[in-house]
């Protein structure tokens, strides 16, 4: 069946990314926990902690099924209850303040043959925005999108700008990326099989992007001030994930595994009072990039 094929393809992506990140880090190893969900299904949580570059990172796979809670049915605007959902979710928090945080999610949701869709995306949250890195990141995402539809990148880039926006701070979480939801043959020119290939292509884009960004920055010297700024920027990441992130909400509302859901949170974040970088500082410069609509291509 199609949903089993999607889950198997996603498992392979999880395996390849974990292997590649271990090689890139050079020290850290992923620890795996196999878990089962009350109500149906389960997953493989893989966490790396205290690596040479990766302070805390999760590469998680899940395939769950069961009855949709009423709140989720209302949010999805559906009436049926029996659901299946599978996906890979990744968040990497580096120890080095000049290496960015990265997030990826690829997922498939199904109620029946008529009601099913793909979603996902990749976004980057640098503690310090380097324009060359930002252009590299967005160029790679555009290439991955262009392989399937020339309109995808700009459409999904705009969606990411809107989605990864911290409303109460009036700033974006980072430099965006791509974000898409509810992709079906009805709103694309692709069959479900082709949308699966697009989803897999996005998943396979993650490793070469992030290992390149790691290699570019992990050997650079940094100061205590930059480390403090990293903890400050991490706090914004936490605020978004706990207040706005739909994946976090879905996991909590469907009785998901708490440790897997909250693996996205960093090991340490600081909330200083009224932090305002001085004008023309690198920290101030980074803040100027935390807005929607920047063209990085």
Burial profile 90-113: b = 16 or more Cβ within 10 angstroms, e = fewer: bbbbbbbbbbbbbbbbbbbbbbee
Task: List the structure tokens of 149.
Answer: 């539809």
Residue of 96, 103, 127, 138 with catalytic role: 103
**E strands, the chain, in order:** 31-36, 41-49, 54-67, 82-94, 101-110, 116-125, 165-166, 171-172, 177-183
24 close to 53: Cβ distance less than 8 angstroms:
yes
CB burial class (10 A; 0-12, 13-18, 19+) of residue 189? exposed
Burial profile 237-250: b = 16 or more Cβ within 10 angstroms, e = fewer: bebbbeebbebbbb
Q: Is 118 helix (H, G, I), strand (E, B) or coil?
A: strand
Nearest Cα neighbor of 156 from 181, 136, 134 is: 181
Task: List the structure tokens of 5.
Answer: 């094929």
Beta partners for residue 178, in sequence order: 122
Rounded (to 5) percent helix, strand, coil in the chain: 45, 25, 35
Beta partners for residue 33, in sequence order: 45
Q: Is 103 a catalytic residue?
A: yes
Contacts of residue 280, Cβ cutoff 8 Å, sequence gap at least 6: none
The residues assigned a catalytic role are 103
């Amino acid at each position: 069946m199609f949903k089993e094929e999607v889950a198997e393809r996603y498992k392979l992506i999880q395996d390849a990314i974990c292997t590649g990140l271990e090689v890139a880090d050079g020290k850290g190893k992923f620890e795996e926990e196999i878990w089962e969900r009350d109500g149906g299904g389960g997953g493989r949580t893989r966490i790396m902690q205290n690596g040479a570059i990766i302070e805390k990172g999760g590469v998680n796979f899940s395939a769950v099924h069961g009855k949709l809670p009423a709140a989720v049915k209302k949010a999805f605007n559906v009436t049926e209850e029996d659901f299946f959902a599978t996906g890979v979710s990744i968040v990497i928090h580096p120890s080095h303040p000049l290496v960015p945080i990265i997030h990826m999610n690829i997922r498939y949701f199904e109620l029946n043959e008529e009601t099913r869709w793909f979603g996902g995306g990749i976004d980057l949250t640098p503690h310090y925005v380097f324009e060359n890195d930002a252009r590299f990141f967005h160029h790679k995402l555009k290439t991955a999108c262009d392989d399937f539809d020339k309109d995808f990148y700009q459409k999904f880039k705009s969606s990411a700008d809107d989605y990864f926006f911290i409303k109460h701070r009036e700033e974006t979480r980072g430099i965006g990326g791509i974000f898409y939801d509810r992709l079906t043959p009805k709103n694309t020119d692709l069959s479900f099989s082709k949308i699966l290939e697009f989803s897999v292509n996005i998943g396979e884009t993650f490793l070469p992007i992030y290992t390149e960004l790691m290699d570019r920055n992990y050997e650079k010297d940094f100061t205590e001030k930059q480390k403090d700024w990293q903890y400050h920027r991490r706090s914004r990441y936490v605020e978004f994930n706990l207040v706005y992130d739909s994946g976090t909400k879905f996991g909590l509302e469907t009785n998901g595994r708490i440790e897997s859901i909250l693996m996205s949170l960093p090991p340490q974040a600081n909330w200083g009072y009224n932090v305002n970088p001085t004008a023309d500082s690198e920290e101030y410069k980074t803040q100027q990039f935390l807005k929607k609509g920047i063209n990085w291509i």
